[in-house]
Amino acid sequence: MLAALVSWIESATGEAGARSIAGRWKTVDDRTGRLHAVVRIVEQPGGFEGYVERILQILPGDDPSGLCVRCEGRWKDQPVLGMKILWGLRREGEEYVGGRILDPNDGKIYSCKAKLLEGGEKLQIRGFLGISLLGRTVVWLREEGT
C-alpha cells in the first residue's frame, strides 16, 4: 500500500519531488497574448501526451466550426476539442525532449521540447522543424488546482 502511494506521488510530482509537466495548462497565443485553450498533459508509458480539454476562446484564424480543417491524415476535419496535440515527450534531466506537437491553426506537426519555468508554474514549449534554432517558443500557464 505504501509503495503504491509513493509511486503515485512520484508520478504526479516527477522525480525527487520536482514538479512534472503533467497537469492542466492554459495555452497562450504567442501572437495575441490571449488565452486560447486548456491542454491536459498526462504521463503514459511512451512519454507525456497532451489533449485539448477546453477551448477558452476562438482566436483570429481559428476555424469557427472547431474542426482541424488545415490538418492532414487522421486529424483532418476532426474536432480540436479532445484532440491529442502533444505526444512522445520524455524527461531528460530538467528538460523534456523527443516530442511532437500538432498546431491545429496551421495543421502542421513539429518536433518539440519543453521545460518548466518559475517553479513549475509555466511551461515553455519549443516547436521546430529539423533543428531547434528554426522554430517558435510558446509559454503555457499552469491552471490552478492541478
Please choose, from the candidates 127, 96, 84, the residue with its C-alpha nearest in 3D space to the C-alpha of residue 18: 96
| pLDDT bracket for residue 31 (50, 70, 90) | confident
pLDDT of 26: 97
| pLDDT bracket for residue 14 (50, 70, 90) | very low
C-alpha to C-alpha distance for 116 and 38, rounded to whole angstroms? 17
pLDDT of 43: 96
pLDDT of 5: 33
CA dist 25 → 38, 115, 130, 140, 143 (Å): 5, 13, 26, 6, 5
pLDDT tens across 57-102, in order? Answer: 877 667 778 899 999 999 999 999 999 999 999 999 999 999 999 9
C-alpha cell at 100: 511532437
| pLDDT bracket for residue 23 (50, 70, 90) | very high
Residue that the C-alpha cell 483532418 belongs to: 76
Q: Tell me the mean pLDDT in the region 37-55.
A: 96
pLDDT of 38: 97
pLDDT of 146: 52
Q: What integer best gives the mean pLDDT of the chain? A: 85
In CATH terms, 2-142 corresponds, of 2.40.128.520, 1.20.120.400, 3.40.50.720, 4.10.520.10, to 2.40.128.520
pLDDT at 15 over 90: no
pLDDT of 108: 94
Query: Would you say 76 and 105 are in contact if contact means Cβ atoms under 8 Å apart?
Result: no
